[in-house]
């Protein structure tokens, strides 16, 4: 059956006929033993080979029957999260098999018109949809694992809506939590079921105290976070604040002006010992004069002991009636500082920059910062402002706040819900700033290690498992260095998206999108609806295999010659014809059932995988849930929580 050029697995299981005949023959021997004068020893010697051969033929028939049944009716596959295998050396993905040329041959055979009788009747198709034969042509399933060494090379998960991306995320997050790694989940939508799974797995692993939940839709109970408060270089603050602004065409000039002024404000705040935050940036962009005066009164005495007296003298000499039109409306103290700095006996780039910003006409200054102010107003309005500017919050606010360095040092589990459905601009700005902050922290870890700043502590570098759901909502210039440089700091990125076009639309450049896609060493592709997206996977294989087809041929000939001994002859034959076909075609990825995927692991190994379906969560296991958990879950799911 396996040595022939064609397996012939779609025929009726004729082996059952021979197996039944052998069984009848063996039984007949026992019945007719007295007639045949066979002794007991003789019966055993004759019937045992018959029975053994009958079993052998029966097993052959059973293989054919099981293969045909498996083509369209796979066994139900579900796992409780507690049954998901966890290892420090490999990552469990599901059940499946290594995809080989024999599976392409079997698919070709199934597509043959003569095999249509094996298809299920109309209405009997599985609820998972798609083409079930893609998995049915496989042999015995086994657990499929991805080596942990490949995880650092980052993983890209492709799949259209509602085909199993979130389920795969849950499977991977479950293992990361029980492995003891740092886990960061960026969820633009804010999926309550995903947070429920994360919290429950943390509790099962004894790590529920390490869970940090940040959610823009529930600021009253969310942890607080300053996206621009931690940095290696102060210029990072301006990069994160102005990152969401458009940079095409005429917008590039306005973005450059906004960056310059934001950078000046950030430098001044840091010099004054104030951590930058969105609230401070917005307030000083609206009125930069108080910041200049505070900086001048703080630093001028150190460089010029008589500086303040000189400023006071200049202030007394100012006559408002003689001021030029551009300086009217400005305070005398500001004008005196500006005049002092023009002839100051020292150089201070921050002071000079602040003076140049204050020297602009107010109307002109507002115009060149107009592109940034609306975004900052969104980030500093209402309860969201308290989340993103924790240092300006009420001192009695008991909500925790976090930064990524402490998250990594203490091996925390962080869930980030960005509520992109409500406000895409705010979600994008916060998400991009978080990624830039993470990239900066990864640089510190790479250069100085996790014990940087804490020489008395000896901590091991933990793996940082970053899961970016719908990462096309987050990807930008911050994401590229996170992919191609942060692996050395233990950063393991798993990104989930629907199509390549989503990424291109987000970054606005096909070359940059391809650059981003090229940094993922492992690919997991569920059902997609775009040929271009499917070709991301098939292009990496570029392997063609020989596939055999049968061609029926018949011929008839006759002869009218009197001396011929054959008046008529006919022949019928089946010919084998070989042709090349890709090992994996885009249409295979488009036809995948829900919960099934093709995976390219270890560079070029192609696996066909079924993801385990989730078994119902035991809500009693949630126990006393936290306030954010209670806000996220519907009332029926809150168990014994608050």
For the chain, what are the domain ranges?
Answer: 15-70, 90-223+399-545+583-622, 235-379
pLDDT for position 540? 86
Average pLDDT over the chain, rounded to an integer: 85
pLDDT for position 460? 66
**98 or 552, greater pLDDT:** 98
Q: How confident is the model at residue 457 (pLDDT cuts 50, 70, 90)?
A: low
Q: How confident is the model at residue 123 (pLDDT cuts 50, 70, 90)?
A: very low
Are the beta carbons of 428 and 471 closer than 8 angstroms?
Answer: no
Contacts of 203 (CB under 8 A, 6+ apart): 621, 622, 623
What is the sign of the dihedral through the CA atoms of 121, 127, 129 and 135?
A: negative
Percent of the chain topping pLDDT 70: 89
SS3 247: coil
**93 or 424, greater pLDDT:** 93
pLDDT for position 252? 84
Residue 203: count of CB within 10 angstroms of its CB: 18
Instruction: For residues 186 and 169, give the distance between their C-alpha atoms in angstroms, rounded to a whole number.
Output: 11
pLDDT for position 175? 96
Instruction: For residues 453 and 446, give the distance between their C-alpha atoms in angstroms, rounded to a whole number.
Output: 14
Instruction: For residues 275 and 569, give the distance between their C-alpha atoms in angstroms, rounded to a whole number.
Output: 98
Is residue 229 predicted with pLDDT exceeding 80?
Answer: yes
pLDDT for position 629? 55
pLDDT for position 482? 85
Is residue 10 predicted with pLDDT exceeding 90?
Answer: no
Work out the end-to-end distance of the chain between its first and last CA atoms, rounded to an integer number of angstroms.
63
SS3 377: helix
Residue 570 CA, distance from chain mean position: 63
pTM over 0.85: yes
Q: Phi and psi (nearest 5°) for 20?
A: -65, -40
Q: Which fold has domain 90-223+399-545+583-622?
A: Rossmann fold (3.40.50)
Is residue 259 predicted with pLDDT exceeding 70?
Answer: yes
Is residue 642 predicted with pLDDT exceeding 50?
Answer: no
Lowest mean pLDDT among 320-324, 336-340, 406-410: 320-324
Are the beta carbons of 517 and 155 closer than 8 angstroms?
Answer: no
pLDDT for position 527? 96
Is residue 622 predicted with pLDDT exceeding 80?
Answer: no
What average pLDDT does range 493-519 have in this prediction?
A: 84
pLDDT for position 632? 56
**149 or 478, greater pLDDT:** 149
């Amino acid at each position: 059956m396996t040595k022939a050029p064609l397996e012939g697995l779609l025929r009726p299981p004729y082996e059952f006929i021979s197996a039944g005949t052998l069984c009848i023959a063996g039984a007949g021997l026992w019945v007719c033993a007295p007639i045949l004068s066979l002794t007991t020893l003789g019966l055993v010697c004759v019937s045992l080979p018959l029975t053994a051969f009958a079993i052998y033929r029966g097993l052959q028939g059973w293989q054919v029957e099981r293969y045909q049944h498996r083509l369209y009716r796979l066994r139900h596959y579900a796992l409780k999260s507690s049954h998901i295998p966890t290892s420090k050396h490999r990552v469990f993905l599901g059940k499946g098999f290594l995809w080989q040329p024999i599976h392409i041959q079997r698919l070709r055979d199934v597509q043959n018109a003569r095999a249509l009788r094996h298809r299920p009747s109309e209405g009997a198709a599985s609820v998972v949809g798609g083409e079930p034969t893609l998995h049915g042509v496989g042999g015995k399933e086994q657990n499929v694992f991805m080596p942990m060494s490949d995880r650092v090379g980052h993983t890209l998960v492709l799949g259209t809506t509602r085909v199993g991306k979130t389920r795969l995320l849950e499977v991977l997050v479950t293992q990361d939590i029980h492995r003891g790694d740092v886990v960061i989940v960026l969820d633009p939508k804010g999926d309550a079921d995903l947070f429920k799974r994360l919290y429950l797995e943390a509790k099962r692993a004894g790590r529920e105290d390490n869970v940090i939940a940040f959610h823009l839709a529930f600021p009253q109970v969310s942890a607080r976070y300053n996206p621009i408060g931690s940095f290696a270089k102060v210029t990072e603050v301006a990069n994160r604040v102005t990152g969401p602004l458009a940079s095409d065409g005429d917008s590039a000039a306005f973005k450059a002006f906004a960056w310059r002024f934001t950078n000046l404000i950030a430098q001044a705040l840091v010099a004054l010992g104030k951590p930058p935050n969105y609230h401070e940036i917005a307030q000083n962009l609206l009125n930069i004069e108080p910041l200049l005066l505070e900086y001048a009164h703080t630093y001028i005495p150190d460089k010029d002991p008589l500086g303040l007296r000189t400023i006071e003298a200049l202030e007394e000499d100012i006559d408002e009636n003689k001021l030029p039109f551009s300086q009217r409306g400005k305070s005398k103290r500001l004008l005196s500082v500006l005049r002092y700095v023009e002839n100051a006996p020292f150089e201070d780039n921050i002071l000079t920059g602040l003076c140049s910003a204050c020297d602009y006409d107010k109307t002109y200054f507002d115009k060149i910062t107009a592109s940034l102010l609306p975004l900052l107003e969104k980030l500093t309005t209402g309860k969201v402002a308290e989340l993103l500017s924790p240092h300006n919050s009420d001192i009695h606010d008991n909500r925790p706040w976090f930064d990524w360095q402490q998250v990594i040092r203490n091996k925390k589990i962080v869930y980030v819900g960005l509520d992109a459905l409500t406000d895409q601009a705010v979600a994008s700005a916060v998400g991009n700033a978080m990624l830039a902050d993470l990239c900066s922290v990864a640089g510190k870890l790479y250069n100085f290690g996790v014990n940087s700043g804490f020489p008395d502590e000896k901590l091991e570098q933990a793996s940082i498992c970053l899961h970016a759901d719908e990462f096309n909502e987050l990807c930008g210039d911050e994401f590229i260095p996170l992919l191609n440089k942060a692996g050395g700091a233990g950063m393991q990125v798993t990104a989930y998206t629907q199509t390549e076009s989503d990424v291109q639309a987000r970054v606005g450049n096909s070359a940059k999108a391809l650059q981003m896609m090229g940094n993922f060493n492992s690919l997991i592709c569920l059902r997609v609806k775009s040929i271009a997206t499917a070709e991301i996977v098939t292009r990496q294989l570029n392997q063609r295999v020989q596939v055999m087809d049968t061609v029926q041929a018949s011929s008839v000939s006759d002869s009218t010659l009197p001396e011929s001994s054959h008046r008529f002859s006919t022949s019928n034959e089946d010919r084998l014809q070989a042709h090349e076909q890709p090992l994996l075609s885009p249409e295979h990825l488009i036809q995948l059932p829900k919960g099934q995927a093709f995976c390219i692991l270890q560079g070029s190994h192609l696996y066909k995988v079924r993801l385990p379906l989730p078994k119902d969560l035991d809500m009693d296991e949630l126990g006393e849930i936290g306030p954010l958990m209670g806000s996220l879950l519907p009332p029926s799911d809150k168990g014994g929580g608050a």
